[in-house]
Structure 1
Amino acid sequence: MIHEADIYVRKKLLPMFKDMDNTMVLSCLQGHMGTAWVDDLENPTTAQIMVGIFVYYAGNPYSKGAEELLHNLPEHIYVIVNSDEWKNAIETVHKEAFEKFQRYKFKKNPEDLKRSHIHAILSNLPEGYRLQKIDSTLAKESSLHEISPDLTSQFDSIDDFINRGIGYAILNEGQVVCGVSSYSIYNQGIEIEVATHPLHRRKGLASIASSALILECLDNGMYPSWDAANLESAKLAQKLGYTLEDSYDTYYIHYKNK
Protein backbone atom coordinates (compact mmCIF):
# COMPACT_ATOMS: atom_id res chain seq x y z
CA MET A 1 0.00 0.00 0.00
CA ILE A 2 1.21 3.50 -0.81
CA HIS A 3 0.33 6.71 1.01
CA GLU A 4 0.14 10.37 0.06
CA ALA A 5 2.72 12.38 1.98
CA ASP A 6 1.80 15.60 3.75
CA ILE A 7 4.31 18.41 4.30
CA TYR A 8 5.68 16.75 7.45
CA VAL A 9 6.37 13.47 5.68
CA ARG A 10 7.82 15.33 2.68
CA LYS A 11 10.52 16.77 4.92
CA LYS A 12 11.67 13.23 5.62
CA LEU A 13 12.24 12.75 1.90
CA LEU A 14 14.85 15.48 1.46
CA PRO A 15 17.81 13.11 2.07
CA MET A 16 16.33 10.58 -0.35
CA PHE A 17 16.26 13.14 -3.20
CA LYS A 18 19.39 15.12 -2.24
CA ASP A 19 21.40 13.95 -5.27
CA MET A 20 18.71 14.80 -7.82
CA ASP A 21 19.31 18.59 -7.86
CA ASN A 22 15.96 19.38 -9.45
CA THR A 23 13.92 22.48 -8.67
CA MET A 24 10.58 20.75 -9.18
CA VAL A 25 11.52 18.16 -6.59
CA LEU A 26 12.24 21.03 -4.22
CA SER A 27 8.96 22.67 -5.18
CA CYS A 28 7.10 19.63 -3.91
CA LEU A 29 9.23 18.87 -0.86
CA GLN A 30 9.08 22.52 0.24
CA GLY A 31 5.28 22.44 -0.01
CA HIS A 32 4.72 24.85 -2.91
CA MET A 33 2.98 22.50 -5.39
CA GLY A 34 2.69 18.93 -6.53
CA THR A 35 2.08 15.69 -4.64
CA ALA A 36 4.31 13.09 -3.00
CA TRP A 37 3.67 9.41 -2.36
CA VAL A 38 5.60 6.97 -0.16
CA ASP A 39 5.60 3.30 0.79
CA ASP A 40 5.48 4.08 4.52
CA LEU A 41 4.47 7.26 6.32
CA GLU A 42 6.63 6.67 9.40
CA ASN A 43 9.78 5.33 7.74
CA PRO A 44 9.56 5.81 3.97
CA THR A 45 12.10 3.85 1.93
CA THR A 46 10.71 4.65 -1.53
CA ALA A 47 9.07 7.84 -2.76
CA GLN A 48 7.39 9.39 -5.79
CA ILE A 49 7.06 13.11 -6.49
CA MET A 50 4.68 14.48 -9.10
CA VAL A 51 4.64 18.10 -10.30
CA GLY A 52 2.63 18.82 -13.42
CA ILE A 53 3.63 16.38 -16.15
CA PHE A 54 6.81 15.29 -14.37
CA VAL A 55 7.37 12.41 -11.96
CA TYR A 56 10.49 11.65 -9.92
CA TYR A 57 11.40 8.50 -8.00
CA ALA A 58 14.03 7.94 -5.33
CA GLY A 59 14.84 5.49 -2.56
CA ASN A 60 14.78 1.72 -2.81
CA PRO A 61 13.46 0.49 -6.18
CA TYR A 62 13.18 -3.04 -4.74
CA SER A 63 10.90 -2.18 -1.83
CA LYS A 64 7.40 -3.67 -1.62
CA GLY A 65 5.82 -0.35 -2.53
CA ALA A 66 8.12 0.49 -5.45
CA GLU A 67 6.12 -1.32 -8.16
CA GLU A 68 2.86 0.17 -6.87
CA LEU A 69 4.43 3.63 -7.04
CA LEU A 70 5.61 2.91 -10.58
CA HIS A 71 1.97 2.27 -11.52
CA ASN A 72 0.76 5.38 -9.71
CA LEU A 73 0.75 7.47 -12.88
CA PRO A 74 -1.62 9.45 -15.10
CA GLU A 75 -1.90 8.34 -18.72
CA HIS A 76 0.87 10.53 -20.16
CA ILE A 77 3.83 11.55 -18.03
CA TYR A 78 7.58 12.20 -18.05
CA VAL A 79 9.59 10.25 -15.51
CA ILE A 80 13.05 11.17 -14.23
CA VAL A 81 15.30 9.08 -11.98
CA ASN A 82 19.00 9.18 -11.26
CA SER A 83 20.10 5.56 -10.82
CA ASP A 84 20.47 2.58 -13.12
CA GLU A 85 18.40 0.51 -10.67
CA TRP A 86 15.43 2.82 -11.07
CA LYS A 87 15.89 2.94 -14.83
CA ASN A 88 15.80 -0.86 -14.94
CA ALA A 89 12.66 -0.87 -12.79
CA ILE A 90 10.93 1.60 -15.11
CA GLU A 91 11.90 -0.32 -18.23
CA THR A 92 10.72 -3.59 -16.68
CA VAL A 93 7.37 -2.35 -15.38
CA HIS A 94 6.59 -0.23 -18.46
CA LYS A 95 8.45 -2.35 -20.99
CA GLU A 96 6.15 -1.66 -23.95
CA ALA A 97 4.91 1.76 -22.93
CA PHE A 98 7.93 4.03 -22.70
CA GLU A 99 10.19 6.13 -24.88
CA LYS A 100 13.57 7.30 -23.63
CA PHE A 101 15.14 10.60 -24.69
CA GLN A 102 17.59 13.21 -23.44
CA ARG A 103 16.89 16.40 -21.52
CA TYR A 104 19.59 18.96 -20.83
CA LYS A 105 20.61 20.21 -17.41
CA PHE A 106 22.26 23.59 -16.78
CA LYS A 107 24.43 24.79 -13.94
CA LYS A 108 22.57 26.88 -11.38
CA ASN A 109 25.08 29.70 -11.32
CA PRO A 110 23.68 33.26 -11.21
CA GLU A 111 27.08 34.65 -12.23
CA ASP A 112 26.62 33.04 -15.66
CA LEU A 113 23.68 35.35 -16.33
CA LYS A 114 25.33 38.64 -17.29
CA ARG A 115 22.91 41.54 -16.97
CA SER A 116 24.54 43.61 -19.73
CA HIS A 117 24.25 40.70 -22.16
CA ILE A 118 20.64 40.02 -21.20
CA HIS A 119 19.72 43.71 -21.49
CA ALA A 120 21.21 43.71 -25.00
CA ILE A 121 18.97 40.79 -26.00
CA LEU A 122 15.96 42.51 -24.44
CA SER A 123 16.50 45.62 -26.59
CA ASN A 124 15.96 43.72 -29.86
CA LEU A 125 12.17 43.50 -29.85
CA PRO A 126 11.03 43.57 -33.52
CA GLU A 127 8.71 46.28 -34.78
CA GLY A 128 5.05 45.39 -34.39
CA TYR A 129 5.55 43.41 -31.21
CA ARG A 130 4.90 44.45 -27.61
CA LEU A 131 6.39 42.97 -24.43
CA GLN A 132 4.13 42.91 -21.38
CA LYS A 133 4.29 41.39 -17.93
CA ILE A 134 1.52 38.84 -17.42
CA ASP A 135 -1.11 40.44 -15.19
CA SER A 136 -4.52 39.14 -14.10
CA THR A 137 -6.11 40.23 -17.40
CA LEU A 138 -3.45 38.80 -19.68
CA ALA A 139 -3.33 35.58 -17.65
CA LYS A 140 -6.93 34.94 -18.72
CA GLU A 141 -6.26 35.65 -22.40
CA SER A 142 -7.09 32.59 -24.51
CA SER A 143 -4.20 33.18 -26.92
CA LEU A 144 -1.76 32.81 -24.01
CA HIS A 145 -3.11 29.36 -23.13
CA GLU A 146 -3.28 28.30 -26.76
CA ILE A 147 0.49 28.73 -26.95
CA SER A 148 0.99 26.61 -23.84
CA PRO A 149 -1.43 25.79 -21.02
CA ASP A 150 1.64 25.05 -18.88
CA LEU A 151 2.42 28.76 -18.59
CA THR A 152 -0.02 28.92 -15.64
CA SER A 153 -1.47 25.42 -15.20
CA GLN A 154 0.59 24.29 -12.21
CA PHE A 155 -1.00 26.93 -10.02
CA ASP A 156 -4.34 26.47 -8.27
CA SER A 157 -5.95 29.35 -10.18
CA ILE A 158 -5.15 32.49 -12.17
CA ASP A 159 -5.16 34.45 -8.91
CA ASP A 160 -2.73 31.96 -7.42
CA PHE A 161 -0.44 32.40 -10.43
CA ILE A 162 -0.56 36.20 -10.09
CA ASN A 163 0.17 35.97 -6.35
CA ARG A 164 2.96 33.38 -6.47
CA GLY A 165 4.14 33.16 -10.07
CA ILE A 166 5.71 35.42 -12.65
CA GLY A 167 5.58 35.70 -16.43
CA TYR A 168 5.99 37.84 -19.54
CA ALA A 169 4.26 37.76 -22.90
CA ILE A 170 4.91 39.24 -26.32
CA LEU A 171 1.84 40.38 -28.25
CA ASN A 172 1.27 41.01 -31.94
CA GLU A 173 -1.96 42.58 -33.17
CA GLY A 174 -3.50 42.04 -29.74
CA GLN A 175 -2.71 38.32 -29.58
CA VAL A 176 -0.12 36.62 -27.40
CA VAL A 177 2.48 35.04 -29.68
CA CYS A 178 5.17 34.22 -27.11
CA GLY A 179 5.08 33.55 -23.38
CA VAL A 180 7.53 32.73 -20.63
CA SER A 181 6.64 32.05 -17.03
CA SER A 182 7.27 30.15 -13.83
CA TYR A 183 6.25 26.56 -14.57
CA SER A 184 6.91 25.87 -10.91
CA ILE A 185 8.27 27.73 -7.90
CA TYR A 186 10.57 26.79 -5.04
CA ASN A 187 12.07 28.71 -2.12
CA GLN A 188 15.06 29.95 -4.09
CA GLY A 189 13.41 30.71 -7.42
CA ILE A 190 11.44 29.32 -10.35
CA GLU A 191 11.59 26.75 -13.15
CA ILE A 192 11.10 28.41 -16.54
CA GLU A 193 8.46 27.51 -19.12
CA VAL A 194 8.67 29.16 -22.55
CA ALA A 195 6.60 28.80 -25.71
CA THR A 196 6.21 30.66 -29.02
CA HIS A 197 3.47 30.46 -31.65
CA PRO A 198 4.81 28.52 -34.68
CA LEU A 199 4.12 31.43 -37.06
CA HIS A 200 6.26 33.80 -34.96
CA ARG A 201 9.34 31.69 -34.35
CA ARG A 202 12.88 32.53 -35.55
CA LYS A 203 12.44 36.19 -34.59
CA GLY A 204 14.16 36.09 -31.21
CA LEU A 205 10.91 36.47 -29.29
CA ALA A 206 11.59 33.64 -26.84
CA SER A 207 15.00 35.04 -25.93
CA ILE A 208 13.54 38.53 -25.45
CA ALA A 209 10.65 37.40 -23.22
CA SER A 210 13.02 35.12 -21.29
CA SER A 211 15.41 38.03 -20.77
CA ALA A 212 12.67 40.08 -19.13
CA LEU A 213 11.77 37.20 -16.83
CA ILE A 214 15.39 36.45 -15.94
CA LEU A 215 16.15 40.07 -15.09
CA GLU A 216 13.14 40.36 -12.80
CA CYS A 217 14.12 37.14 -11.04
CA LEU A 218 17.69 38.33 -10.52
CA ASP A 219 16.45 41.72 -9.28
CA ASN A 220 14.34 39.94 -6.66
CA GLY A 221 16.93 37.43 -5.51
CA MET A 222 15.28 34.46 -7.25
CA TYR A 223 17.09 31.99 -9.46
CA PRO A 224 15.50 31.42 -12.91
CA SER A 225 16.30 27.73 -13.41
CA TRP A 226 16.38 26.33 -16.96
CA ASP A 227 16.07 22.65 -17.84
CA ALA A 228 15.80 21.98 -21.57
CA ALA A 229 13.48 19.43 -23.16
CA ASN A 230 15.34 19.47 -26.48
CA LEU A 231 18.37 20.86 -28.30
CA GLU A 232 16.50 23.96 -29.46
CA SER A 233 15.68 24.88 -25.87
CA ALA A 234 19.26 24.10 -24.84
CA LYS A 235 20.63 26.46 -27.51
CA LEU A 236 18.28 29.21 -26.34
CA ALA A 237 19.48 28.76 -22.76
CA GLN A 238 23.11 29.00 -23.86
CA LYS A 239 22.32 32.14 -25.88
CA LEU A 240 21.03 33.70 -22.66
CA GLY A 241 24.18 32.74 -20.76
CA TYR A 242 23.37 29.44 -19.07
CA THR A 243 26.18 26.88 -18.93
CA LEU A 244 25.32 23.33 -19.98
CA GLU A 245 26.13 20.81 -17.29
CA ASP A 246 24.97 17.48 -18.69
CA SER A 247 22.28 15.59 -20.55
CA TYR A 248 20.22 12.95 -18.80
CA ASP A 249 17.74 10.19 -19.52
CA THR A 250 14.05 11.00 -19.40
CA TYR A 251 11.19 8.57 -19.90
CA TYR A 252 7.94 9.43 -21.62
CA ILE A 253 5.43 6.87 -20.41
CA HIS A 254 2.09 6.41 -22.15
CA TYR A 255 0.61 4.50 -19.26
CA LYS A 256 -3.03 3.45 -19.17
CA ASN A 257 -4.69 2.93 -15.80
CA LYS A 258 -6.42 -0.41 -15.58
Structure 2
Amino acid sequence: MIYKADINMKKELSLMFEGFDSTILRSFLQGHMGTAWVNDPENPTVGQIILGIFAFYAGDPNATETEELLHNLPEDILVIVNTDEWKKRIETVHKGSFDKFQRYRFKKNPEDLNSSYLETLLSKLPEEYELKRINASIANDPSLHEISEDFTGQFDSIEDYLNRGVGFAILHRGQVVCGASSYSIYDDGIEIEVGTHLNHRRKGLATIASSALMLDCLARGKYPSWDAANPESAKLAKQLGYIYEGAYDTYYINNRK
Protein backbone atom coordinates (compact mmCIF):
# COMPACT_ATOMS: atom_id res chain seq x y z
CA MET A 1 0.00 0.00 0.00
CA ILE A 2 1.19 3.51 -0.77
CA TYR A 3 0.37 6.79 0.94
CA LYS A 4 0.14 10.38 -0.20
CA ALA A 5 2.82 12.36 1.58
CA ASP A 6 2.08 15.58 3.44
CA ILE A 7 4.23 18.57 4.28
CA ASN A 8 5.32 16.93 7.55
CA MET A 9 7.38 14.45 5.52
CA LYS A 10 9.48 17.15 3.84
CA LYS A 11 12.59 16.31 5.87
CA GLU A 12 12.45 12.59 5.09
CA LEU A 13 11.83 13.20 1.39
CA SER A 14 14.56 15.85 1.20
CA LEU A 15 17.06 13.30 2.52
CA MET A 16 15.76 10.60 0.18
CA PHE A 17 16.07 12.82 -2.92
CA GLU A 18 19.24 14.69 -1.94
CA GLY A 19 21.23 13.11 -4.78
CA PHE A 20 19.16 14.93 -7.43
CA ASP A 21 19.97 18.33 -8.91
CA SER A 22 16.49 19.43 -9.98
CA THR A 23 14.67 22.69 -9.36
CA ILE A 24 11.42 20.85 -10.13
CA LEU A 25 12.03 18.64 -7.11
CA ARG A 26 12.78 21.73 -5.06
CA SER A 27 9.36 23.08 -6.04
CA PHE A 28 7.73 20.23 -4.14
CA LEU A 29 10.24 19.92 -1.31
CA GLN A 30 9.92 23.64 -0.57
CA GLY A 31 6.11 23.42 -0.56
CA HIS A 32 5.23 25.29 -3.76
CA MET A 33 3.60 22.66 -6.01
CA GLY A 34 3.48 18.97 -6.90
CA THR A 35 2.53 15.78 -5.02
CA ALA A 36 4.42 12.90 -3.41
CA TRP A 37 3.74 9.28 -2.49
CA VAL A 38 5.60 6.97 -0.13
CA ASN A 39 5.43 3.38 1.10
CA ASP A 40 5.18 4.27 4.79
CA PRO A 41 3.81 7.51 6.30
CA GLU A 42 5.97 7.11 9.42
CA ASN A 43 9.25 5.69 8.13
CA PRO A 44 9.35 5.84 4.30
CA THR A 45 12.04 3.90 2.46
CA VAL A 46 10.92 4.64 -1.10
CA GLY A 47 9.25 7.72 -2.54
CA GLN A 48 7.78 9.27 -5.66
CA ILE A 49 7.39 12.98 -6.45
CA ILE A 50 5.22 14.13 -9.36
CA LEU A 51 5.04 17.63 -10.79
CA GLY A 52 3.42 18.17 -14.17
CA ILE A 53 4.81 15.71 -16.70
CA PHE A 54 7.73 14.70 -14.46
CA ALA A 55 7.96 11.88 -11.92
CA PHE A 56 11.01 11.25 -9.75
CA TYR A 57 11.83 8.14 -7.71
CA ALA A 58 14.33 7.61 -4.90
CA GLY A 59 14.93 5.28 -2.00
CA ASP A 60 14.88 1.49 -2.13
CA PRO A 61 14.06 0.25 -5.67
CA ASN A 62 13.44 -3.23 -4.25
CA ALA A 63 10.99 -2.27 -1.50
CA THR A 64 7.74 -4.24 -1.47
CA GLU A 65 5.72 -1.21 -2.57
CA THR A 66 8.11 0.00 -5.27
CA GLU A 67 6.24 -1.65 -8.13
CA GLU A 68 2.97 -0.09 -6.97
CA LEU A 69 4.66 3.30 -6.93
CA LEU A 70 6.06 2.68 -10.41
CA HIS A 71 2.51 2.12 -11.66
CA ASN A 72 1.20 5.17 -9.82
CA LEU A 73 1.54 7.34 -12.91
CA PRO A 74 -0.71 9.39 -15.20
CA GLU A 75 -0.57 8.78 -18.92
CA ASP A 76 2.40 10.01 -20.93
CA ILE A 77 4.88 11.03 -18.26
CA LEU A 78 8.63 11.45 -18.00
CA VAL A 79 10.39 9.49 -15.25
CA ILE A 80 13.76 10.49 -13.83
CA VAL A 81 15.95 8.47 -11.46
CA ASN A 82 19.64 8.73 -10.61
CA THR A 83 20.98 5.18 -10.15
CA ASP A 84 21.48 2.22 -12.47
CA GLU A 85 19.52 0.04 -10.05
CA TRP A 86 16.48 2.26 -10.41
CA LYS A 87 16.87 2.32 -14.20
CA LYS A 88 16.85 -1.49 -14.33
CA ARG A 89 13.73 -1.58 -12.17
CA ILE A 90 11.90 0.86 -14.44
CA GLU A 91 12.91 -1.07 -17.55
CA THR A 92 11.64 -4.30 -16.00
CA VAL A 93 8.33 -2.99 -14.67
CA HIS A 94 7.50 -0.95 -17.79
CA LYS A 95 8.96 -3.32 -20.36
CA GLY A 96 7.40 -2.64 -23.76
CA SER A 97 5.90 0.67 -22.60
CA PHE A 98 8.86 3.03 -22.35
CA ASP A 99 11.27 5.01 -24.49
CA LYS A 100 14.64 6.04 -23.12
CA PHE A 101 16.25 9.29 -24.20
CA GLN A 102 18.50 12.00 -22.87
CA ARG A 103 17.85 15.44 -21.45
CA TYR A 104 20.58 18.03 -20.98
CA ARG A 105 21.53 19.65 -17.69
CA PHE A 106 23.14 23.07 -17.22
CA LYS A 107 25.02 24.55 -14.28
CA LYS A 108 22.90 26.64 -11.96
CA ASN A 109 25.25 29.57 -11.56
CA PRO A 110 23.85 33.14 -11.80
CA GLU A 111 27.34 34.48 -12.56
CA ASP A 112 27.27 32.62 -15.89
CA LEU A 113 24.40 34.80 -17.11
CA ASN A 114 25.30 38.23 -18.47
CA SER A 115 22.47 40.76 -18.21
CA SER A 116 24.14 43.22 -20.60
CA TYR A 117 24.42 40.52 -23.24
CA LEU A 118 20.79 39.48 -22.73
CA GLU A 119 19.71 43.11 -23.18
CA THR A 120 21.33 43.17 -26.63
CA LEU A 121 19.27 40.14 -27.64
CA LEU A 122 16.02 42.00 -26.90
CA SER A 123 16.86 44.57 -29.58
CA LYS A 124 16.61 41.88 -32.27
CA LEU A 125 12.81 41.60 -32.09
CA PRO A 126 11.42 41.88 -35.67
CA GLU A 127 9.24 44.95 -36.30
CA GLU A 128 6.02 43.00 -36.85
CA TYR A 129 6.21 41.40 -33.40
CA GLU A 130 5.51 42.73 -29.92
CA LEU A 131 7.05 41.54 -26.62
CA LYS A 132 4.80 41.70 -23.55
CA ARG A 133 4.82 40.44 -19.99
CA ILE A 134 2.14 37.79 -19.54
CA ASN A 135 -0.78 39.58 -17.87
CA ALA A 136 -4.34 38.45 -17.17
CA SER A 137 -5.44 39.06 -20.76
CA ILE A 138 -2.57 37.05 -22.28
CA ALA A 139 -2.77 34.32 -19.62
CA ASN A 140 -6.42 33.75 -20.56
CA ASP A 141 -5.78 33.90 -24.32
CA PRO A 142 -6.23 30.48 -26.00
CA SER A 143 -3.36 31.26 -28.38
CA LEU A 144 -0.92 31.11 -25.45
CA HIS A 145 -2.08 27.66 -24.40
CA GLU A 146 -2.11 26.36 -27.95
CA ILE A 147 1.67 26.75 -27.91
CA SER A 148 2.14 25.10 -24.51
CA GLU A 149 -0.28 24.28 -21.71
CA ASP A 150 2.78 24.18 -19.44
CA PHE A 151 3.21 27.95 -19.49
CA THR A 152 0.65 28.10 -16.66
CA GLY A 153 -0.43 24.47 -16.22
CA GLN A 154 1.38 23.61 -12.98
CA PHE A 155 -0.36 26.39 -11.06
CA ASP A 156 -3.71 25.96 -9.34
CA SER A 157 -5.39 28.49 -11.63
CA ILE A 158 -4.65 31.43 -13.92
CA GLU A 159 -5.04 33.70 -10.90
CA ASP A 160 -2.51 31.60 -9.00
CA TYR A 161 -0.12 31.85 -11.95
CA LEU A 162 -0.48 35.64 -12.07
CA ASN A 163 0.24 35.82 -8.33
CA ARG A 164 3.20 33.43 -8.19
CA GLY A 165 4.44 32.88 -11.73
CA VAL A 166 6.11 35.04 -14.36
CA GLY A 167 6.36 34.99 -18.13
CA PHE A 168 6.78 36.91 -21.36
CA ALA A 169 4.96 36.46 -24.65
CA ILE A 170 5.60 37.62 -28.20
CA LEU A 171 2.52 38.60 -30.15
CA HIS A 172 1.93 38.83 -33.90
CA ARG A 173 -1.25 40.58 -35.04
CA GLY A 174 -2.71 40.17 -31.58
CA GLN A 175 -2.00 36.45 -31.31
CA VAL A 176 0.59 34.85 -29.04
CA VAL A 177 3.21 33.13 -31.20
CA CYS A 178 5.99 32.57 -28.65
CA GLY A 179 6.36 32.45 -24.91
CA ALA A 180 8.82 31.92 -22.07
CA SER A 181 7.31 31.25 -18.68
CA SER A 182 7.75 29.66 -15.27
CA TYR A 183 7.02 25.96 -15.63
CA SER A 184 7.51 25.65 -11.89
CA ILE A 185 8.68 27.85 -9.03
CA TYR A 186 10.91 27.32 -6.02
CA ASP A 187 12.23 29.58 -3.26
CA ASP A 188 15.14 30.98 -5.24
CA GLY A 189 13.88 30.87 -8.81
CA ILE A 190 11.92 29.18 -11.57
CA GLU A 191 12.23 26.40 -14.12
CA ILE A 192 11.80 27.84 -17.62
CA GLU A 193 9.26 26.64 -20.20
CA VAL A 194 9.74 27.96 -23.77
CA GLY A 195 7.66 27.42 -26.89
CA THR A 196 7.11 28.94 -30.34
CA HIS A 197 4.27 28.47 -32.81
CA LEU A 198 5.32 26.29 -35.74
CA ASN A 199 4.70 29.07 -38.28
CA HIS A 200 6.95 31.54 -36.47
CA ARG A 201 10.05 29.49 -35.73
CA ARG A 202 13.62 30.26 -36.80
CA LYS A 203 13.16 33.99 -36.30
CA GLY A 204 14.91 34.22 -32.96
CA LEU A 205 11.68 34.69 -31.02
CA ALA A 206 12.44 32.04 -28.39
CA THR A 207 15.80 33.71 -27.76
CA ILE A 208 14.12 37.07 -27.19
CA ALA A 209 11.29 35.81 -24.97
CA SER A 210 13.76 33.76 -22.91
CA SER A 211 16.10 36.74 -22.53
CA ALA A 212 13.24 38.89 -21.23
CA LEU A 213 12.27 36.26 -18.68
CA MET A 214 15.86 35.70 -17.59
CA LEU A 215 16.47 39.43 -17.15
CA ASP A 216 13.34 39.78 -15.05
CA CYS A 217 14.39 36.89 -12.80
CA LEU A 218 17.96 38.11 -12.39
CA ALA A 219 16.76 41.63 -11.52
CA ARG A 220 14.63 40.15 -8.72
CA GLY A 221 17.38 37.89 -7.41
CA LYS A 222 15.70 34.74 -8.75
CA TYR A 223 17.48 32.09 -10.80
CA PRO A 224 16.03 31.16 -14.21
CA SER A 225 16.90 27.46 -14.37
CA TRP A 226 17.15 25.74 -17.76
CA ASP A 227 16.93 21.99 -18.36
CA ALA A 228 16.84 21.04 -22.04
CA ALA A 229 14.53 18.40 -23.47
CA ASN A 230 16.33 18.13 -26.82
CA PRO A 231 19.48 19.30 -28.67
CA GLU A 232 17.69 22.39 -30.04
CA SER A 233 16.80 23.54 -26.54
CA ALA A 234 20.35 22.82 -25.38
CA LYS A 235 21.74 24.92 -28.25
CA LEU A 236 19.49 27.83 -27.28
CA ALA A 237 20.56 27.54 -23.64
CA LYS A 238 24.22 27.78 -24.61
CA GLN A 239 23.45 30.82 -26.78
CA LEU A 240 21.83 32.49 -23.77
CA GLY A 241 24.90 31.90 -21.62
CA TYR A 242 24.17 28.70 -19.73
CA ILE A 243 27.12 26.36 -19.15
CA TYR A 244 26.51 22.77 -20.20
CA GLU A 245 26.96 20.24 -17.41
CA GLY A 246 25.97 16.90 -18.94
CA ALA A 247 23.28 14.61 -20.32
CA TYR A 248 21.13 12.28 -18.25
CA ASP A 249 18.72 9.45 -18.98
CA THR A 250 14.99 10.07 -18.99
CA TYR A 251 12.15 7.58 -19.50
CA TYR A 252 8.96 8.36 -21.37
CA ILE A 253 6.32 6.00 -20.01
CA ASN A 254 3.30 5.32 -22.22
CA ASN A 255 0.66 3.77 -19.97
CA ARG A 256 -1.81 3.50 -22.83
CA LYS A 257 -0.01 0.56 -24.47
Aligned position for 2:175? 175
- Equivalent runs, 1:53-132 vs 2, <5 Å: 53-132=53-132
Equivalent position SS for 1:69: helix
Amino acid at match of 1:148: S
Secondary structure of the corresponding residue to residue 15 of structure 2: coil
Q: CA deviation at 1:11?
A: 2.7
Q: Aligned partners of 1:123 and 1:39: how far apart in 2?
A: 53
3-state secondary structure, aligned to 1:14: helix
Q: Secondary structure at the match of 2:27?
A: helix
For the residue of structure 2 that corresponds to 1:137, the secondary structure is: helix
Separation (CA, whole Å) in 1 of partners of 2:5 and 2:29: 10
Alpha-carbon distance between aligned partners in 2 of 1:43 and 1:246, rounded to the nearest angstrom:
34
- For residues 151 and 255 of structure 1, the distance between their equivalents in structure 2, rounded to whole angstroms, comes to 24
What code does the residue aligned with 1:38 have? V
Matched, 1:5 2:5: yes
Q: Give yes or no for contact 1:74–1:256 (8 Å, CA) kept in 2.
A: no
Matched residue, 2:154: 154
- The alpha-carbon deviation at position 30 of structure 1 amounts to 1.1
Question: How many Å separate the matches in 2 of 1:55 and 1:12?
Answer: 18
Instruction: Give aligned pairs, total.
Output: 257
Counterpart of 1:203?
203
TM-aligned CA deviation for residue 235 of structure 1: 0.3
Q: Which 5+ residue runs of structure 1 have no aligned equivalent?
A: none
Quote how far apart the aligned CAs of 1:148 are. 0.7
| Structure 1 residue 37: Cα displacement | 0.3
Contact 1:7 1:30 in 2 (8 A): no
The aligned counterpart of 1:45 is: 45
Alpha-carbon RMSD: 0.9
Question: Which residue number corresponds to residue 230 of structure 2?
Answer: 230
- Report whether the alignment pairs 1:14 with 2:8: no
Task: Give, as a single letter, the amino acid of the residue that structure 1 aligns with 2:171.
Answer: L
Give the deviation of 1:137 after TM superposition: 1.1
Query: Matches of 1:253 and 1:138 in 2, distance apart?
Result: 32
The offset of 1:29, in angstroms, is 1.2
* Partner of residue 139, structure 1: 139
How far apart, in 2, do the equivalents of 1:24 and 1:82 lie? 15
Q: Which deviations, in whole Å up to 9, do the C-alpha atoms of 1:38-84 show, x marking residues without a partner?
A: 01111111000000000000011011111110010112100000000
* Farther off after superposition, 114-123 or 221-230: 114-123
Counterpart CA distance in 2 for 1:205 and 1:11 is 41
Aligned mates of 2:226, 2:129 — CA distance in 1: 25
The Cα of 1:10 is off from its aligned counterpart by 2.6
Q: Which residue of 2 aligns with 1:24?
A: 24
Letter in 2 for 1:94: H
CA distance in 1, matches of 2:137, 2:176: 12
* C-alpha displacement of 1:210: 0.4
Q: How far did 1:163 drift? A: 0.2
Q: Give the TM-score normalised by structure 2.
A: 0.99
Q: Deviations over 1:75-110 (max 9, x none)?
A: 210000000010000000001100000100000010
Amino acid at match of 1:24: I
**Structure 1 partner of 2:239:** 239
- Distance in 1 between the 2:15 and 2:121 partners? 39
TM-score (norm 1): 0.98
Offset, 1:128 = 0.5
Rounded to whole Å, the distance in 2 between the matches of 1:146 and 1:161 is 17
The percentage of aligned residue pairs carrying the same residue is 65
Query: In 2, Cα distance between the equivalents of 1:171 and 1:50?
Result: 32
